[in-house]
Structure 1
Amino acid sequence: MPRTPDPVEDGLDTSQPPHPVFYVEQALLGALLLEPQRLGSVTGIAPDSFSAAAHAALFAAIRSLPAPDPAEHAKNTIWLNQVLAAARDQARGLTASYLHSLIQVCPWPRHAPAYARMVEAEHSRRRLGAAAQRVMQTAGDTSLPQRVAATLAEADALAAVVDDIAARFPAHSGSLPRTHAPSLAVPHDEEAVDEERLLLATATAYPGSVDQMRWLTPGDFTHPLHAGLWQCLTTLTRRGTPVDPIAVLWEAQQHGLLNPGTEPRELLDLLAVPAGSPEHWGERILQRSVLATAHHIGRRIEACTDDPATTPYQLVVGSRRALADLSAVRTRWQHATSPAPTKRPARTRATAAPRAGPPTTAPPAARISR
């Protein structure tokens, strides 16, 4: 009975039990070591597609060496020794016994293209997960001077990975993603709460700016009461109702915001200290919303990649749904931060010089001679 290669015994030490793709990689490499001529039917993968460094080194060595004559290859191990020597440059722990074990555990060498497709699918999962992690890390990196721009650039890179996976695994009829999406985490942030209060007070004092800030929505706020008060302010301004703290208080009551934990006096105090401009505080709030959304879509996509039952098709569908949410808030951010278009003066038609023509004065009346 053929021996199943052991990762530890064969110099492939792993801190955790290997995933199924590890054994798929072994079967693929075994097929190529036994019948090197099958390399031509293996497409869509490269050395970095493998989960184990030793496997990547073996595949690179197999690709770099010309395939031996099948008849000669069946008689001796010359080509296998060449592969081992080339692979050891990158993976010194490889042994001849491991290569022979790979050959023994390969069920059917003719299934090499199917094994390669499995390796490609798992590599796509890892690529997508890594791209999602980069988005989350960038969104949370407070040392970046242009954190929003850097985060959106990583989101574009993630979208490019999704498009590449979609091209490799075309759409087909199948089940939609079933991985439970993580809930949106809204950590308590005193700075965010203070900025939301300043926006509400300043917008109440200068309501003329509110109607121009349609790029800010209640969903951008971290505190539910503040989101409701912003809705009250936008309702009042679009209705053309005079805006002041009393009007906002009354509107808040109509919206059901005055629960037992919210005293009217506290709400009036909240609206009584304006500072700066509404646009400044609004952009600060929207910036946090962009970063929070980017971090959340990264978590959603990562959750899909962590589910081994998720197919490449489901990864693409789930990722594009998540990216659509980021696209919506991104559009609002671009609208908020883009300079206002300069209005060109209306073009007036120049009065053309009159063309030369017959005189317009009537000729003098002819004298009637008697």
Structure 2
Amino acid sequence: MPPTPDPVEDDLDTLPPPPPVFHAEQALLGALLIEPHRAAGLTGISFEAFSTAAHPALFAAIRSLPAPEPAEHAKTTTWLNRVLTAAGEQTRGLTTAYLHHLIQCCPEPRHARAYARIIEAEHSRRLLRDAAHRLIQTTLDTSLPHRVATTLAEAGTLTTVVDDIATRFPTRSGPLSRTPATTPVTTHDEEAGEEERLLLATATARPGSAERMRWLIPGDFLHPLHAGLWQCLTTLTRRGTPIDPVTVLWEAQHHGLVATGTAEPRELLGLLSEPDGCDPEYWGEQILQRSLLTTAHRTGRRIEMLTDDPATTTYQLVVGSRRALADLSAVRVRWHHATTPAPTNNPARNRYSAPPRAGPPPTTAPPAVRITR
């Protein structure tokens, strides 16, 4: 009969080793237990920065109790017992042996600030990862009544987190952030493809609409062929060339959309000759909205991948996150232009353009002029 495995030993064997920040937490707490007066110099760290339940309880207890006299603290364990009692009210399982273990884990109490800085940096990484994850989930939540507005609000929260990290960890010279290797995802969205086809056909039928839709760029399109045709439309608009399905087809040939075999000429003519009754700007806003949500999702993923790489420094996290957010900001500006109503320009009245208005006729005769000799 095979031996029965011990479930306790099996569970311990499957646990991953603690990360480096865990040892920094132990070293900091050990430093404060050895020299409690050093807690007064730690102003940028809070108990939320710790990764386990026992460590924030101990840190809060150390900060709440007045530091003992160094000479008295070296002789007795009175203050350590008070710390253990106060921390035990917040979490269970703390023992005197663990406090002594923390003291032994501290290489040098004078390095308490350096240990705290490590803990702050890792806490910033977790905050950034959580904010990026919330942004990703928001872009995927189709039940939101105001999906774009909520997504942009989450992006603003993520930007605030990045700015806060940059403030607490000033920029220094060093290697720039590494760009995460992302795998391009080919999306087959029939609804998006139909919206793009309707926009191209209606914009071809109403050439003036492309001039008003400068906020829409080829990169917003999901289908490469549709992106190329939109570029053809905007090119013809800038030139002032007459626009119809035939002229767009001729421009498409110059852009390589026909020569490369991407589409047959008859197929392109059919695509451009079936306009819809809706305003082209309506379809343009639908395409831009999808592009904004896609960019926000990609931004969140890039930042999340940066935080998942333990080799990424705090400085690299800030630089990489700001680069990713810059792409989203550019789409956000174009979305603002697309959805903001154009202001009504009332011509200003020129006070000097019209002759002065004549006043009412006099009601009394002018005074007589007396002539004296």
Give the TM-score normalised by the residue count of structure 2. 0.88
Partner of residue 74, structure 1: 74
- Stretch deviating more after TM superposition (47-56 or 283-292): 47-56
Q: Distance in 1 between matches of 2:188 and 2:156?
A: 29
Q: Pairwise mapping of residues 31-180 of structure 1 onto structure 2 (< 5 A)?
A: 31-180=31-180
Q: Map Cα deviations across residues 119-175 of structure 1 (whole Å, 9 max, x no partner).
A: 111111111111111111111111111111111111111111111111111111111
CA distance in 1, matches of 2:92, 2:13: 12
**Cα distance, 1:269 vs. partner?**
1.9
- Secondary structure of the equivalent of 1:74? helix
> What amino acid sits opposite 2:38 in the alignment?
R
Q: Residue type of the partner of 2:182?
A: P
Query: How big is the shift at 1:232?
Result: 0.7
| Partner in structure 2 of residue 327 of structure 1 | 329
The correspondence of residues 286-301 of structure 1 with structure 2, limited to 5 A, is 286-301=288-303
User: Is 1:352–2:356 an aligned residue pair?
Assistant: yes
Q: Secondary structure at the match of 2:177?
A: coil
Residue 178 (structure 1) shift: 2.1
Q: CA deviation at 1:21?
A: 0.3
Quote the offset at 1:58 in angstroms. 1.3
One-letter identity of the residue aligned with 2:320: G
Gap change, CA 1:13 and 1:212, over 3 Å in 2: farther
The number of equivalent residue pairs is 347
The answer to whether the Cα contact below 8 Å between 1:229 and 1:248 also exists between their aligned partners in 2 is yes
SS in 1 for 2:115: helix
Please report how far the alpha carbon of residue 216 of structure 1 lies from its aligned counterpart in structure 2 after TM superposition.
0.1
Write the distance in 2 (CA, Å) between the matches of 1:39 and 1:212.
Answer: 62
Conserved? CA contact 1:195–1:284, under 8 Å: yes
Q: 1:196 and 1:43, CA in 2 relative to 1: closer, same or farther beyond 3 A?
A: same
In structure 1, the gaps of 5 or more residues are 1-7, 357-370
Deviation track 1:40-95 (CA, whole Å, cap 9, x = no partner) reads 12231100011222211211111111112222322332222222222223321322
Is this contact kept in 2: 1:43–1:116, CA < 8 A?
no
Establish whether residue 306 from structure 1 lines up as the match of residue 291 from structure 2.
Answer: no
Change in 2 beyond 3 A, CA 1:173/1:310: same
* Alpha-carbon distance in 2 for matches of 1:29, 1:324: 39
Q: Would you say the 8 A contact 2:225–2:262 is kept in 1?
A: no
User: What is the rounded CA distance, in whole Å, between the counterparts of 2:297 and 2:89 in structure 1?
Assistant: 40
Q: 1:267 to 1:105 in 2, by over 3 A?
A: same
Distance 2:17 2:230 in 1: 52
Q: TM-score, normalised by structure 1?
A: 0.88
Unaligned runs of 5+ in 2: 1-7, 361-373
Alpha-carbon distance in 1 for matches of 2:358, 2:271: 68
Instruction: Specify the code of the residue in structure 2 equivalent to 1:337.
Output: T
Alignment partner of 1:200: what SS? helix
Identity over aligned residues, as a percent?
70
CA RMSD of aligned residues (A): 2.2
Distance in 2 between residues matched to 1:257 and 1:108, nearest whole Å: 68
How many Å separate the matches in 2 of 1:260 and 1:281? 27
Once the two structures are TM-superposed, the CA of residue 181 in structure 1 deviates from its matched residue by 4.4
